[in-house]
Structure 1
Amino acid sequence: MNLLQTYWSSFIQGFGYTLLASIIALVGALILGTLFALFQVQPIKWLRQVGNAYVQFFRNVPLLVIVLFMYLVLAKIIPMNGFAAGSLGLTLYTSAFIAEAVRAGIQSIDSGQYEGARANGLTYVQAMRYIILPQAFKVSLPALGNQFINLVKNSSILAFVGGLDLMYQGNLVAANSYETLTSYLIVGAFYLVITLPLSYSMQYLEERLGKGA
């Protein structure tokens, strides 16, 4: 408790940066993931190839490698700090997994619904927006929830590039106080403050949508 009181401002700062990075990456990954999921189910061959290449690349390269590339290489071209580099790497990495979840959701929808929508005068974009994607998101909600929780935990990667997140602050506190175990227990508790409500919210949403169905 004394350690938490002494370094309260450091932990709160790290908590804020972790929360901000998670929100940025979640929104960005959801948008990118949905886009590349749509690429993967396109009848146009080159779009499918682009979507598949993107997903396979970011799914099979370690997150640490991606973040270090952003920080050590890309940052020399486009100036960015550790927080921005880490958030960008986290976004790209997570978007590949979200793309797979959304793609599976789209392909689980009966093709007759898309054909019926087009037969009733809807454009491709309208059919996807109003008919297919809402159902696909509903089907893939459990997988998306898991990815959102993984994203929050993976945000600890920002510590490797000076991202000022919870893990970064925990490392500093542990080094300064020599209370390593206590420092990381406090860090773990702060992560639970984010992940537990998120987990329960996703479960509640799944139950509500299940009852609605």
Structure 2
Amino acid sequence: MAGEPAVTPVPTDDELVVVPLRHWWRWVGGAVILVLLGLLGWALADAKIDYAAVPGFFTHDIMLRGLVNTVVLAVVAQAGAIVLGVVIALMRRSANPVARWFAAGYVWLFRGLPVLLQILLWFNLALVFEDISFFGIWEEKTNVLVTAFVAALLGLGLNESAYMAEIVRAGLNSVDHGQVEAAKAIGMTPATALRRVVLPQAMRVIIPPTGNNFINMLKGTSMASVIGFLELIHAANNIASRNLQIMETLLAAAAWYMVVVSVASVGQHYLERYYGKGVAR
């Protein structure tokens, strides 16, 4: 009919031409990365490193002792930090103002001082206190009690406990207060509500940063080498001082760090999946 607009026919599926979107910059970026990796591999292959000697240092008895000491120190320090962190976090949420101020001061002090400084302070405690006694019932020399392991444990554990206190506090605060009120309404004590209602939900928030902190703890044990504690770095230096193959022994220590960090990452993954199963599909 005259005056009516022309109707454009709709093309059928066979008539449609699909033009894929080209992402040229993705290909350029990928090519640049491959070129850089190739240059790095070429440089490492051309470096003056005896790669054949690295496996021998990887399984050297001193290196294995350093590995065991590293893992033990990290696990014990992290476990103690978790316990102390939970206590300090609960104190910060306490209705007692003295407990709250003490907890805040604890976090301020141990989070503010560098870890290496704390390790050195504990290791040199005998310069200030020659003896440590317990109300005259028991007494011992400070340099006998505060060994290199104990000094590293106190320095790493107390520093980490301050961070754990904030992580736990954030996890507890993430749980809706109405659930706590509901738990109290059905007769649960505060301790029971914390154990059965609050903590299971707070763990979803607590686990990821705790896992990251434990990985940092594994690597942070290297600072204990400055006080003579035999961990991976100190073990590598001991071996290198005998054969002067410094890079080879450091590469062996680096390989062990990657192994233990990878194992810790896998454990973190399964913990996160376990405590997140209530919200994940």
Over the residues paired in the alignment, what is the CA RMSD in angstroms? 1.8
1:144 pairs with 2:195: no
Answering whether residue 82 of structure 2 is matched by residue 47 of structure 1, we say no
Question: Does structure 1 residue 70 correspond to structure 2 residue 91?
Answer: no
Matches within 5 A, 1:45-194: 45-73=97-125, 76=130, 77=132, 78=142, 79-194=145-260
Higher relative helix content: 1
- Tell me whether 1:2 sits opposite 2:2 in the alignment: no
Post-superposition Cα deviations, 1:144-197, rounded to whole Å, max 9, x if no partner, equal 111111111111111111111111111212222212211111111111111111
Percent identity over the alignment is 34
Structure 1 unaligned regions, length at least 5: none
TM-score, scaled relative to structure 2 = 0.71
Q: Secondary structure at the match of 1:16?
A: helix
Query: Is the deviation greater in 121-130 or in 95-104?
Result: 121-130
Are the aligned partners of 2:152 and 2:224 in contact in 1 as well (CA < 8 Å)? yes
Please say which structure displays the higher CA radius of gyration.
2
Secondary structure (helix, strand or coil) at the match of 2:94 reads coil
* Matched position secondary structure for 1:43: coil
Secondary structure at 2:62 match in 1: helix
Flag the structure with more relative contact order, 1 or 2, with Cα contacts below 8 A and sequence separation at least 6.
1
Q: Aligned partners of 2:86, 2:77: CA distance in 1, in Å? A: 14
Distance across 2 between alignment mates of 1:118 and 1:3: 60
Match of 1:212 in 2: 278
**8 Å CA contact 2:203, 2:275 repeated in 1:** no
Residue equivalent to 2:77: 25
Give ranges in structure 2 of 5+ residues lacking alignment.
1-51, 133-141
SS at match of 2:277: helix
Superimposed CA distance per residue, residues 85-141 of structure 1 (whole angstroms, 9 cap, x where no aligned partner):
111211111111111111101011111112222222222222212221222122221
- Work out whether residues 83 and 162 of structure 1, in 8 Å CA contact, stay in contact via their aligned partners in 2: no
Q: CA deviation at 1:30?
A: 0.8
- 2: distance between equivalents of 1:4 and 1:207? 35
> Would the aligned equivalents of 1:83 and 1:161 in 2 still touch at CA under 8 Å?
no
8 Å CA contact 1:25, 1:91 repeated in 2? yes
Q: Report if aligned partners of 1:25, 1:90 keep a CA contact under 8 Å in 2.
A: yes
User: Partners of 2:250 and 2:178 in 1: how far apart?
Assistant: 53
Shift of 1:3: 5.4
Answer whether contact 2:54 2:251 (CA < 8 A) is retained: no
More displaced 10-residue stretch of structure 1: 140-149 or 128-137: 128-137
